[in-house]
Structure 1
Amino acid sequence: MGKVIVAFDESEQLILKSIYYDEDPEEALNFVLKHILPKVKKELSCLSGTLSGQKG
């Protein structure tokens, strides 16, 4: 799998900063599941038609 770029809005950036300062692993996992994973899945589904048409 290649690299994926994920953009965060201002509220998501604040949550990330909070996770960083609090060093809370449960909050970090919840953030990944709620905010990052859906964006990665969406990005991959958008590319699936493009990638499946490639040869080689």
Structure 2
Amino acid sequence: MPKVFVVFDESEQLLLKSIYYDEDPEEALKFVLEHIIPKVKKDLSCLSGVMSGQKG
């Protein structure tokens, strides 16, 4: 599986730092599901056609 780069805006970065310092597993999972997974799915679907075209 190729590497994926995820970009966070300022508010997402602050939320991520807050989760880290609070050590809140529920909030961490919520962040992953709401902020990371949608971005990864978007990036992968955009690259899937490009990557498959290069392999042939």
Range into which the TM-score falls when normalised by the shorter chain: over 0.9
CA-atom RMSD in angstroms = 1.0
Match of 1:7, SS state, is coil
| Partner Cα distance (2:14, 2:51) in 1 | 34
Identity of aligned residues (%): 82
Matched length:
56
5+ long unaligned stretches in structure 2: none
Q: Structure 1-normalised TM-score? A: 0.92
Q: Give, in angstroms, the shift of residue 54 of structure 1.
A: 2.3
Following TM superposition, the consecutive aligned residue runs of length 4 or more in structure 1 with deviations greater than 2 angstroms are: none
Instruction: Check if 1:51 corresponds to 2:43.
Output: no
